[in-house]
Structure 1
Amino acid sequence: MADADTARLCKQIVQSQFGPLAASVVSVLLTRGRLPLPLIARLSGLKLRTTRAAIIVLVQHNILWHAQSDDDGEVFEVNVDECLLRLRYGRYVWQAEQLFGKAGADIVQLILDHGKLRPLDIISRLSVYDPLKASAMYSQALHRLVDGSYLRPSTILSHISPRDKRIRYEVEEKAKISGFPTAKELREARETAEARLKREEDEAEQTGMKRKARDQSGRSSKRKAMDEDVVNEEVYFRVNCEKFNIHIRNKLIVDAVIERFNESAGLVLQATLKATDAKQMKLSDVRTDTTSLANIAMQLSDDDDLSAGLVLQSSKKASTMSMLKNYLGILACADNPTPAGRAASFVSVNGSKVQVEFEIVGRRLRRRVLETVARERHGDDGVRVVRLLLDSGKMDEKQISKIGMMANKDARPLLSAMSADSLISLQEVPKSADRNPTRTFYLWFIDLQKSYSVLLDNLYKTLYNIATRRQAESDEPVVKAVLEKRQRSDVSQDEERLLTRNEREILAQWEKKREKLTVLEMRVEEAVFILRDLGALGNSDD
């Protein structure tokens, strides 16, 4: 089950998009855990028919998992991650428009509105006004989306919690072990279950495209059969959020390079990511596949001026390949072959092969969020303590005040305040078995997993407060009356003439407040992405 802040945010998201009835069902499941249909109806206070309709809608939009239980029959569970991803749906549509044009954005938006759809339903809904030209355009865009894994098939297995399947497969593998299982056999059973789960996911992905045989007859008597991939019209497709999240991650890394170096270095890293874009399928990848300098150079356009970011000693203009090598050397911190240089790098270069290090960059981005929060709450001294403990490990109060060049009277309250915020933790090391406080060492350190979890909960609370503030602003009587008036068909066509000056000013103020709240929400959501989605890359921070 989700914690209190995450549950409140999920309930708010569902209520804003599906209404109060669906929010009541989600609230019960988030509070009580997985439940069967009759118990959900009784606890939510809704009729059985209404509860069933709400569950069907939530399952259609991938917010609920359902599974078979030996005791209760069919039970339902909230997919918290899928619910929280709905905050990024607008960004997914914008990315689809940048990558595939307006046709791709229309397809993605339509699928997001309906949860999952078949190709024939997608084409028929979008090509109502121009069946001939629009149908071909949308069919081509749909093929590109499916071929690039931006849309994935929705099968029966995708509605079951992966945790349930993993547990069931592990039980089946352990049942094959005769006698008392050893640690090695248990580990092999878990690995076999993981491999089986991954194989099922790969097989489900392949059902989206099918091979179509086409005969080509020429003047000769021989006929050649050519196979081409076409979209399977019998499969329901849903948006693959992970593929869009990969673009968000790449944008964050490019922005970090531009912030640290310059725009030309950002162009080089962007070209490196584009060279391996087709093979980036998982957000949990440690690094990209190897690519060559020639492939990176092919991704650079003729208008990209790499010389603007370098100070060249020779007056003669250097070649693109030589400047590219210089930039990759800078991004790989080739001038600092130490652990510190390795931790500050963006790419790794081995001869002519280049890889972008997602794990190293992700760990650094997460630590930067931690330092930003420490600076906001405790000033520069808080950042100094965080960096000192991250670099040196466990230290006592006297060492921190001495190495951090702070007085003891200032260090003690600072450490206590940071401990209250869960930014740092305390480790007790007793000298004797009685654990007497006078004979105990108290060492300060940073438990990154704990700190990131607390920060993530605070960010969820902030997102909930932002949405609540936006709703409160729109529910003010004056603003609400003007918004309802603008929704009228006659007013929406001619707002300048049918709205008074005072009403237009109220609308302008409301839109300005909404814009500020939206920008704030995007910044907080970016921090959530770094801590949660890139979290798998930073669990082993040393």
Structure 2
Amino acid sequence: MADADTANVCVQIILSHFGQFTSAVASILLNRGRLSFPQLVRYSQLKPRTVRAAILVLVQHNILWHATSEDEGEVFELNTDECLTRLRFGRFVWLAEQHFGTAGAGIIQLLLDHGKLRPPDIMSRLTPQGSNDYAQTLQKLVTSSYVKPSTALSHVSPRDKRIAYEAEERAKISGFPTAKELRQAREAAALRLKREEDEAENAGLKRKNQVSSRPSKRIKASDDNVVDNDVYFRVNYDRFNIHIRNKLIEEAARQRFNDGAALVMRAALRATENEQKTVGEIRSASSTAANISTLLEDVHALRSGLVLNTKKPKDITLVKAYLSMLAFADNPTPAGKASSFVSFSGSKVYVEFETISSRLRRRALEAVTRERHGDDGVRVLRLLLDSGKVDEKQVSKLAMIAPKDVRPLLSAMSAESLISIQEVPKSADRNPTRMFYLWYVDLPKACSVLLRNLYKTLYNINVRKQAETEESSIKAVLEKRERSDVSRDEGLLTRNERETLKEWESRIEKLTVLEARVEQVVFILKDLGTVD
């Protein structure tokens, strides 16, 4: 069951993508939790066939989980993460075009529009005359895990499977279980769930014997992986999220240093891109400076970003200098380690994803604090993040802010959950007059509250876009533009109508850019963070 802000934005997304009946069913599931089919019909007050059609649509697009309950039979639950990811679909198609060309973008867009499809259905919709280009691109997308098979297990909530597997592991324990045995049962259940997911992803490929048709005394038979035409495929969001994360890391390196450091950072990420599976990884696989130097795109930018003793330094020398800079090798303190992008020791290079993600979350929190409380608020926030729990007098002294200004500032920041307060009683009676009050930053709580505010902002942006489109003057011009004769020749529109359309497109474009920026902050706080 989602909170009110998350439920509102999910309902708004489903309304714009699937219509009012489907959004009505989704709203009930979001506000009431998992329900059975009769309960959905009763609460929605819709016809059973309408509710059934809405359920089929949501299941087809991987937004709905269904599980079997002992009390109520089959129950349904909405997958909010899947619904919120639909805001990035446009970026997914753009990334597919960048890496796989027009054919890859067409396949990804078709799968995003239909939820899941079999390879023959994909080919029939994209290549009516038959083309080998789309078939080869689909093969690349499947083998590189940008497209993954959709099995029956993917429609069951992972939480339900984990609970069931833990119960099975606990049943194997004889007597009263110890804490160690319970931990081992949880680890065994998680390992079993991970193994099932890996096996499901490998189900999309099958082995095919290809025998050479050339007449020869030696006939060689080779096994090759081909796409299974009987399996339904869907888009693997994790692979595209990895590209979004890597782009954010590259931009962070450019803002911290220069373009040369960003180029080296991009090459270091590309060196281990095939081994990166999810955005939740702590660090990347190992690479070498020599391997990174072979993936550089612009060596001139490297030379212009550093001042070395030699006039014509080698590329590997430049790369090692940049890697030392990104690793903060000249600052071996905890502060330097927390500011690093990579770990560079000996010949091994690792990209520290967890450290970078923590820094990106902190920067997003500081940006919101600066906007609402100015530089003094950012100074207090950084002080509490670095020092831990501090009382009001120490905050005033260390942050160099007058005591009369610290108290209202702390109260205002606490009201917005940017900081929290810890009560430490001096005596057992917990008298408020005999207590220490310590201020600190509860980072998960602050990020969670900020994330809910961002969901509210996304909902308001979508409502504003819908209101702009449904305005009477705009709606009349849009309906006229959809006419067949006007669509072929927009010169049939009057000058005022063309100006009205231009102003409307400008407003929609600004709202779309704003939505993309807000969604990027959501990606940093949710996908790169620990907020559920």
The equivalent residue for 1:530 is: 524
Aligned residue for 1:305, secondary structure, equals helix
Retained in 1: the 8 A contact 2:283–2:352? yes
Residue pairs, 1:116-127, within 5 angstroms: 116-127=116-127
The equivalent residue for 1:504 is: 498
Counterpart AA for 2:101: G
Superposition TM-score, scaled by structure 1 size: 0.97
Q: Does 1:249 align with 2:222?
A: no
The gaps in structure 1 that reach 5 residues or longer are none
- Whole-Å Cα distance in 2 between the matches of residues 226 and 153 of structure 1? 25
Residue pairs, 1:36-75, within 5 angstroms: 36-75=36-75
Q: RMSD of aligned C-alpha atoms?
A: 1.1
The equivalent residue for 2:91 is: 91
- Whole-Å Cα distance in 2 between the matches of residues 299 and 27 of structure 1? 48
* Deviation sequence 1:66-103 (CA, Å, 0-9, x none): 01111111110000000000000000000000010000
Superposition TM-score, scaled by structure 2 size: 0.99
1:462 corresponds to which of 448, 457, 465 = 457
Counterpart AA for 2:148: R
Residue pairs, 1:264-303, within 5 angstroms: 264-301=260-297
Residue 220 of structure 1 and its aligned partner are, at CA, apart by 4.5
Residue 312 of structure 1 and its aligned partner are, at CA, apart by 2.2
The equivalent residue for 1:145 is: 141
- Whole-Å Cα distance in 2 between the matches of residues 246 and 210 of structure 1? 26
Q: 1:303 to 1:348 in 2, by over 3 A?
A: closer
Residue pairs, 1:57-456, within 5 angstroms: 57-128=57-128, 131-132=129-130, 135-216=131-212, 220-301=216-297, 305-314=301-310, 316-456=311-451
- Whole-Å Cα distance in 2 between the matches of residues 147 and 471 of structure 1? 40
Aligned residue for 1:444, secondary structure, equals strand
Retained in 1: the 8 A contact 2:328–2:339? yes
Q: Does 1:23 align with 2:32?
A: no
Retained in 2: the 8 A contact 1:331–1:346? yes
Q: 1:318 to 1:40 in 2, by over 3 A?
A: same
Counterpart AA for 1:223: I
Counterpart AA for 1:27: S
Residue 149 of structure 1 and its aligned partner are, at CA, apart by 0.5
- Whole-Å Cα distance in 1 between the matches of residues 169 and 3 of structure 2? 32
* Deviation sequence 1:103-138 (CA, Å, 0-9, x none): 00000000000000000110111012xx24xx2010
Counterpart AA for 2:82: E
- Whole-Å Cα distance in 1 between the matches of residues 70 and 476 of structure 2? 53
The equivalent residue for 1:32 is: 32
- Whole-Å Cα distance in 1 between the matches of residues 192 and 323 of structure 2? 39
* Deviation sequence 1:401-420 (CA, Å, 0-9, x none): 11111111100000000000
Residue 303 of structure 1 and its aligned partner are, at CA, apart by 5.8
- Whole-Å Cα distance in 2 between the matches of residues 373 and 301 of structure 1? 35
Indicate the percent of aligned positions where both proteins have the same amino acid.
65
- Whole-Å Cα distance in 2 between the matches of residues 215 and 489 of structure 1? 53
Residue 221 of structure 1 and its aligned partner are, at CA, apart by 3.1
Aligned residue for 1:202, secondary structure, equals helix
Residue 223 of structure 1 and its aligned partner are, at CA, apart by 2.5
Retained in 1: the 8 A contact 2:465–2:511? yes
Residue 302 of structure 1 and its aligned partner are, at CA, apart by 5.8
Residue 177 of structure 1 and its aligned partner are, at CA, apart by 0.7
Aligned residue for 2:360, secondary structure, equals helix
Counterpart AA for 2:260: S
Retained in 2: the 8 A contact 1:217–1:224? no
Residue 219 of structure 1 and its aligned partner are, at CA, apart by 5.3
- How many equivalent pairs are there? 532
Residue 222 of structure 1 and its aligned partner are, at CA, apart by 3.2
Aligned residue for 1:207, secondary structure, equals helix
Residue 217 of structure 1 and its aligned partner are, at CA, apart by 5.6
Counterpart AA for 1:426: I
- Whole-Å Cα distance in 2 between the matches of residues 247 and 44 of structure 1? 40
- Whole-Å Cα distance in 1 between the matches of residues 16 and 462 of structure 2? 9
Residue 229 of structure 1 and its aligned partner are, at CA, apart by 1.2
- Whole-Å Cα distance in 2 between the matches of residues 249 and 398 of structure 1? 40
Counterpart AA for 1:13: I
Counterpart AA for 1:122: I
* Deviation sequence 1:140-197 (CA, Å, 0-9, x none): 1101111110000000000000000000000111111111111111111100000000
